[in-house]
Chains A and B, each alone.
Chain A
Amino acid sequence: MFDLEKAILRWRETLRRNESLEEAFIVELESHLRDEVDRSCREGASVEEAFRKAAAEIGQAGDIGEEFYKTYTPRLSGRPPWKPGRSLPALLGNSLKIVLRRARKSKAYSLINIAGLAVGLACCILIVAYILTELSYDGYHKNASRIVRLGVKAEFPGTSITAAVSNTPAGPALVEEFPEVLNAVRFRPTSPRTVVSYGDRQDYEGGIFFADRSVFDVFTFPMLKGDPRTALEAPGSLVITASIAAKYFGDEDPLGKVLRLNNQEDRTVTGVIADVPRNSHFTFNMLLSFESLYAQNRKAQERWLGFPNYTYLLLGDEAQREALEAKLPAFVQAHMADDLKAVRGTLSYFLQPLTRIHLHSRLDRDVAPQGSVLYVYIFAAVALFILLLACINFVNLSTARASTQSREIGVRKACGASRRDLIRHFLAETFAHGLIALAIALGLSELALSYFSALTGVDLRIGAARLQWLIPSSIGLLVFVGVAAGSYPAFLLSAYRPARVLKGDVRTGVSGSRFRDALAVFQFAVSISLIIGTGIIMNQLRFMKTRDPGFRKEDVVIVRVMPDRLRRSYPSIKARLGQVPGVLGVAATSTVPGIGSDIGQFVPEGFGQDQAQTMDVMNANADFLPTMGIKLVDGRNFSAEDGTEASSAVLINRTAARKFGWDAAVGKTIRQYSNATRQWEMRTVVGVVEDFQLASDYRPIAPLCIGASSTDFGGLVIRLDRTNVRGTLATLNAIWKDIDADRPFDYFFLEAQFDGQYRSEERLWGIMGSFAVVSIVIACLGLFGMTSFAVERRTKEIGIRKILGASAPEITLMLAKESAKRVLLANLVAWPVTYFAMAGWLRRFAYRDGIGIGTFVLSTALALLIAMATVGWQAVRAATADPVQSLRYE
């Protein structure tokens, strides 16, 4: 039975939702409607027909009204006041008003939509900041495109390295012999912890390099005080940065003042430069004159077989690089042929463009840890994904919302809105949402900037550079999002036919809802992949950190001591330290496990001269094995007699013994090439130690030879009693003057240093974890919104089911099952993709944990749990609602 009153009530409701109609006007229109219905009925139509016809006629051809206005009311745009403007800004303003009004009415929808978009946009902004910063490294040098770094690729029997370092004579020789090389600069790094003092100010400084005086001609380091042409000319001269100047000299003029290094050497300040910008592939605090290195010993700088420097060349033209590279083998031949023959090695140079160093350099012995273009690509992909997720949400929510709004659209269309108008309205509404979301996103990204900087290890505060790209890119982003997210609902919805829609007959189309489901599944697939990836990285990290490194790394501190002092006074140092309660063991060593070592050439007994082996090499004294807790598996440790300068006793590790095929290694001889004497020297193996990890986990353990020579010792290893670490350290600090009067007690914990090598993995874990959280948040926001619409749409259905006897749990289950299905489907996609991606990543580790099924299952369970929690609350609420109420809704 058609109920006119009910129909009119509904009709009023829809009109009311049309924001441009005032209440009084609606009443007037209703009165008109009734009159029209009466008349139609009098002419014989049925009430239902009459109503439909009358309702449809209302609002026809407002065009005539427009004409009236043009004639009688000279408004500039000729547009009646109740019609929104046609231009986009006016439409935007109107839509903003509408959005705000609608937001007040259905807060949840607007909040969810804007929140999801804002989070996605904020992520994108941060990632774009990161990418732009990474791409800008070293670009500030005027000659940047013409500067190249000289690297070496060396092959010795058994090993090959590609390194960023170069030998000392190369730079100047290249300048002299090749006209296309205009200039060269050599940098020599020094200790990362040097004592610097001026008057009563003293501190440890790092980033101190020796540099050629040409550094200011090749690079752009603006000099604030002093003359760049002569600043580093004289040995003993020193150029400092503005921060160092402020730190030690305050307001005084630093020029001409003297800084004392390591309490031994005096350097005179000849120049002050601006702080090195953070987006440089390495930064420094002070430059010492390269001349100082060889002032005493001119001959040493002719050594071609040693690579202690970083050399940069300035070319006449960047196009000359490849041609020059091709000429370098002849250069090598001319200068290094004899040296290379003696060590049976080959060497070639390569030229690395300055601007590619930061992102594309994967060289050994680089001056500072570099970034990786891989991360830039990953981040860009992640940014795109997250933006995609946010847009998908927006599209889903908009279309879902539209299906509940469809009647209003029908009225709008009946009132004469053209399809173009509707599309424009939707696009404008999308823009309005987008603008609000963008504003929030900008705020969010500002807040999260420092957190994100710490997470990625890249300083994102590149000041003015940010402003340049922020405005155009955010506008670009907004346009992209607006078009992408707004076009689907706009076109889909404006295609509805008003009569059908007024009847309440709205089917969004099976294809429409299936598309939305697919999008939701995609969102969850991405989220689950990220969660799994994070889990796997976490696993691997834990595995690496807890693996037995072959020595006891806890409670050990390393102290640097000058080699001379260690060599001369080790016994007395050891005795003095032994008096300190809490010191359990002391040893001297040339290098520290976990940091890396030198390599050397060896010819083991039974091998021919042409079968030289490359081994890791280090020196330590007899106390080393017991203090570090390294096990001896054969033979004996060094004895006191072995610890002389001319000692020939060595220890090898198990891997070496295995590699040489020695079952009984003790007593075998092995010849080692000495760089100092350029001779092959005979050594005798006195013992075999268990493998221990000398370098990072990336490489499998290599053969190692530990020598007993004390000339190389650079550090003290001190094992502390666990129960009183701090007290012992304090005591050591107090008595250190007795041991080394020149330097304060400067130590670091071995464990911290050792674990520090995992920093990049930890960083990756942090980043991936953060993105996993973000993507799950966005996915859940979307899920929440979709579910509320589904519930709203199906209130009547739920009510009927309840009346027919379904219980609350049954209904909850029914609603939850659908979301669960989506999540499970997402796994089908996520699992294989993630497996292959992570397997590839794990390949770079020599020792890995493997990918367990547990991580996958756990991640899925987590995602499912979160999804259920999101959906569950609404499902329960719908299931327990009073069915009578929900039926009355109609």
Chain B
Amino acid sequence: MISKALIAASTKPIILSTLLGRESYGYQIIQKVKKVSGGTLEWSDGMLYPVLHRLEKDGLLVSHWKRSEEGRYRKYYGLTDLGRKDLEAEMSQWSSVNATLAKLWKALAASD
């Protein structure tokens, strides 16, 4: 069980990372995150969509509607330049934190 705060903090970088390279729609994002996390991150739609809208409002994402062969309408999201820059910032922050934690835990394991 991952804490709410942690899930909340990690939502943005995960979304931005997922959309880096190719655009995707809400349902697809949820499925991908579930797969990549090995099931530990099961996002609900109630959580995802508001975040997507917010990121779009802040200019990090851009969206457009696409019609599939079966006739289904889907809203696709993609990264903007601003989003890419933000992702870089997130990556460096998370790396710092991750590295610190890794060192501390290694020290702990060594002292056992």
Contacts and interface: CB of A to CB of B under 8 A. Distances in A.
Contacts of B27: 31-32, 35-36
Interface string A36-63: 1000000000000000000001111111
A417 B47 CA distance: 15
Interface in B18-50: 25-27, 43-47, 49-50
Contacts of A25: 49, 53
Contacts of A734: none
Interface of B: 4-5, 7-9, 11-12, 25-27, 43-47, 49-51, 53-54, 72-75
8 contacts: A31-B75, A32-B27, A32-B49, A59-B46, A61-B47, A64-B44, A68-B54, A71-B9
A34 interface: yes
A67 B50 contact: no
A64 B26 contact: no
A67 B12 contact: no
Given A25-B49, A73-B54, A67 B73 contact: no
A57 B45 contact: yes
Nearest to A70: B8
Contacts, number: 75
Contacts of A65: 46-47, 50-51
B50 A80 contact: yes
A72 B50 CA distance: 13
Contacts of A36: 27
B7 to A, nearest CB: 6
A573 B91 CA distance: 121
A29 B48 CA distance: 11
Given A36-B27, A64-B44, 4 more contacts: A24-B75, A31-B74, A32-B49, A68-B50
Contacts of B44: 57, 60-61, 64
Interface string A505-538: 0000000000000000000000000000000000
A224 interface: no
A415 interface: yes
Nearest to B48: A65
A61 B5 contact: no
A67 B49 contact: no
Given A32-B26, A64-B44, A82 B73 contact: no
Contacts of A27: 73, 75
A62 B74 contact: no
A338 interface: no
Nearest to A54: B45
B46 A58 contact: yes
Query: In terms of DSSP, what is the predominant structure of the interface of chain A?
Result: helix
Nearest to B7: A64
Contacts of B73: 27, 31
Contacts of B7: 64, 67
Contacts of A67: 4-5, 7-8
Contacts of A31: 25-27, 72-75
Contacts of B75: 24, 27-28, 31
A416 interface: yes
A63 B46 CA distance: 9
Contacts of B51: 65, 68
A27 B25 CA distance: 13
Nearest to A31: B74
Nearest to B55: A72
B46 A61 contact: yes
Nearest to B49: A28
Contacts of B46: 58-62, 64-65, 415-416
A62 B49 CA distance: 10
Contacts of A32: 26-27, 45, 49
B75 to A, nearest CB: 5
A844 to B, nearest CB: 71
Contacts of A60: 44-46
Given A31-B27, A35-B27, A57-B44, A63 B4 contact: yes
A72 B53 CA distance: 14
A342 B72 CA distance: 115
A220 to B, nearest CB: 69
A62 B8 CA distance: 11
Which 3 A-B residue pairs are closest in the complex by CB-CB distance? A67-B8, A35-B27, A64-B47
Interface string A54-96: 0001111111110111111100000010100000000000000
A68 B8 CA distance: 4
A58 B44 CA distance: 8
Nearest to A72: B12
Nearest to B51: A68
A32 B43 CA distance: 13
A82 B50 contact: yes
Contacts of B72: 31, 34
A34 B75 CA distance: 13
A59 B45 CA distance: 7
- Greatest chain A CB density within 10 A among B27, B46, B47, B75 is at B46
B8 A64 contact: yes
Contacts of B54: 68-69, 72-73
A62 B50 contact: yes
A31 to B, nearest CB: 5
Contacts of A71: 5, 8-9
Contacts of A415: 46
Nearest to B54: A73
Contacts of A73: 54
A115 B75 CA distance: 45
A786 B108 CA distance: 72
